Amino acid sequence: MTKRIFSKITQLLSVLFITSLLIFSMTVFLPGDPAVTILGEDATQQQLEKLRKEMGLDDPVFIRYGRWISKAVTGDLGYSIRSQEKVTSMLARRYPVTLQLAFLSMTLAVLIGIPAGVLAAKNRGTWKDLCVGMFAMSGMAIPYFWLGVLLVLTFAIRWKFLPPSGHFPFFEAPLENLKYMILPTITIGVSMSALVMRQTRTAMLESLSQDYVRTARAKGLSETVVVLKHTLKNALGPVVTVVGLQFGALMGGAIVTETIFSIPGIGRMVVDGIFNRDLAVVQGAIITIVISIVLINFLVDLIYTLLDKRVTL
């Protein structure tokens, strides 16, 4: 087991290295000039050239990458050219906001998706199964931005039940914070719950057709015990995998959702960094998202191994 875990960690480090190359390359070749962003359009050519030299922008790309990655592994992601604030300080303030949104959305998806998937599998071919299937299909078809705008128009502008946008720090006022997070959580959670529903239904149907389920029923066990104690546990493996893989999509969805609802998370940080041509901010935010996705997928592999002893790392 230890050898396999070490091998998995080696693979993860390789993925991070390749991803860091791609991130650096894409951000470096973005249109625009950071020197112009800092000094403004009225700066002279001599001033621009001097600043480019000070920032190392005239160095070859591989030298700039080596300088960036060597600092990044020590936790130094540079400074924002707009605010002159450390990127790590910005991430420390914004990442927990996105993490909270991700946690709430995943919790909502699991609380809706797993029971609905079990219900559909137990009642295959009935109106209950049809209703769950229609909800799942609708949830996957609706784009984040469209659902987010629709929720704002309905619950914030028309009925005035909830705030349309913004954010309130959790530790300052937890209830106020949760009020601001309801609409963004629903926006992401609905789409995720649809995928969890479909995967749970498929896994449950496969488990219900196994011999051990027929044996359990033949022994006189109640249907509730058969479903919850025997079938659901074996069906959770694929569901956990889907939830883990959707974490990456969730982080991508957070960029759209945080922009719609003006949430100061890491997704909004990426958008602002791109518009401001703030390379250090964009690089730091995206590499943080990638590390999060890689670590979550590694944890999913471990959990899947614990749920199904037949699976190895």
pLDDT digits (tens, 9 = 90+) for 257-271: 898 899 999 989 998
Instruction: Give me the number of domains the chain comprises.
Output: 2
Closest residue by Cα to residue 147 from 253, 248, 243:
253
238 with 199, same domain: the answer is yes
pTM of the model: 0.84
Q: Tell me the pLDDT tens digit for each residue of 205-247.
A: 988 888 888 888 888 787 778 887 778 877 887 888 888 878 7
pLDDT at 277: 82
- pLDDT, position 82: 83
- Please return the burial class of 9, using the count of CB atoms within 10 Å of its CB with bins 0-12, 13-18 and 19+: exposed
Q: Please state, rounded to an integer, the average pLDDT across all residues of the chain.
A: 85
pLDDT value of residue 1: 62
> Residue 59: its pLDDT value, please?
82
Output the CA–CA distances (angstroms, integers) from residue 244 to 74, 168, 189, 240, 251, in the order listed.
28, 28, 14, 6, 12
pLDDT of the residue at 307: 64
Cα 302 from Cα 313, distance rounded (Å): 7
| Residue 313 is assigned to a structural domain of this protein | no
CATH number at residue 111: 1.10.3720.10
Does residue 17 form part of some domain? yes
pLDDT digits over 91-123, tens only?
999 999 999 999 999 999 999 999 999 999 988
pLDDT at 37: 74
- Which of the two residues, 87 and 43, has the higher pLDDT score? 87
Q: Please name which of 246, 245, 244, 232 lies closest in space to residue 203, comparing C-alpha atoms.
A: 232
Burial 250-262 (b: 16+ CB within 10 A, else e): bbebbbbbbbbbe
In a domain, 269, yes or no: yes
Residues 67 and 205 in one domain: no
pLDDT of residue 310: 56
**Averaging pLDDT over each range in 26-30, 63-67, 139-143, 181-185, which range is the top one?**
181-185
| Within-domain flag for 217 | yes
Q: Which of 285, 249, 225, 243 is nearest to 93 (CA)?
A: 285
Q: How many residues does the chain have?
A: 313
Would 176 be classed as within a structural domain? yes
- Predicted confidence at residue 233, as pLDDT, reads 78
Question: Are residues 134 and 33 both part of a single domain?
Answer: no
pLDDT band at 29 (very low <50, low <70, confident <90, very high): confident
**91 and 222 belong to one structural domain:** yes
Give the domain extent around 281: 87-307
How much is the pLDDT for 198?
A: 92
Q: Are 303 and 250 part of one and the same domain?
A: yes
Are residues 262 and 278 in contact, defined by beta-carbon separation less than 8 angstroms? no
Q: Hey, what's the torsion of the CAs at 143, 146, 149, 153, to 10 degrees?
A: -130
pLDDT of residue 250: 77
Residue 312: which pLDDT band, with cuts at 50, 70 and 90?
low
- pLDDT of 72 strictly over 80: yes
Average pLDDT over every residue of 124-142:
91
Residues in Cβ contact with 199 at an 8 Å cutoff, skipping those fewer than 6 apart? 113, 117, 238, 239, 242
Claim to verify: residue 7 and residue 92 sit in the same structural domain: no
- Shared domain for 191 and 124, answered yes or no, is yes
Of 72, 97, 125, at which residue does a domain stop? 72
Distance set, CA 102 to CA 99, 134, 158, 173, 258 (Å) = 5, 25, 27, 19, 11
| 152, amino acid identity | V
User: 37 or 239: whose pLDDT is higher?
Assistant: 239
Q: Is 45 found in the same domain as 106?
A: no
Count of alpha carbons within 13 angstroms of residue 267, beta-carbon side: 23
